[in-house]
Amino acid sequence: VVALSTRHYFSSLERLAEEYRTRIIQISDAAGGKPVDLVGHSMGGLLARYLVESGRLTGRVNSLASVATPHLGSVLAWVAIGRNMRQMRRGSAFLERLNGVTSPADVRYIGICSTHDNLVLPWHCALSPRGDNFIIRYRGHLSLLMSRQVVNILVKQLQAGD
């Protein structure tokens, strides 16, 4: 398990994704070139989707699990700062392009979201447009990261993909 973060938090999603791409390729290469499983929380799920669906990680990803990811944006992005937050507004050009592409057939998608997400609003904007969705109740945006229920879903689903 490797956790990725960025020092350029307010950059465009494309720039942030390219930073992550370099690191994901290094991780895949260190594993003998084997495809990896990506788990992205919130914006991290959008970055992972962008990389996979734009072909920038072809052959390097088995599955992509998104947790509390604003696949259709969030109304709260209108009050946030940074280019990436503008790109996470509902109906943004970035999200329209991302949701308009065909997903690769060799990547398995898993979406996990909460009906009580306090940052991705409305909550159904966190439903993954690809693969299977798991909807949890009574968990906020950040508390999903520490949820035993989320961990159990991820472990079961990622093992099923092996």
Model confidence over 48-83: pLDDT tens digits? Answer: 999 999 999 999 999 999 999 999 999 999 999 999
Query: What amino acid is encoded at 156 in this protein?
Result: K
Say if CB 41 and CB 145 are below 8 A apart.
yes
pLDDT of residue 28: 94
- Mean pLDDT score of the chain: 95
The two structure tokens encoding residue 52:
């996979």
Report whether pLDDT(89) > 90.
yes
Which residue, 35, 95, 92, is CA-closest to 69?
A: 95
Mean pLDDT, residues 77-102: 96
Confidence of residue 3 (pLDDT cuts 50, 70, 90): confident
pLDDT of residue 9: 80
Say if CB 95 and CB 49 are below 8 A apart.
no
CA geometry: angle 138, 143, 145, nearest 5 deg: 125
Q: What distance in Å separates the CA atoms of residue 87 and residue 95, rounded to the nearest whole number?
A: 7
pLDDT of residue 5: 85
Which residue, 104, 100, 9, 110, is CA-closest to 60?
A: 104
The two structure tokens encoding residue 121:
């609003």
> How much is the pTM?
0.95
The H-or-E segment that residue 8 falls in is: none
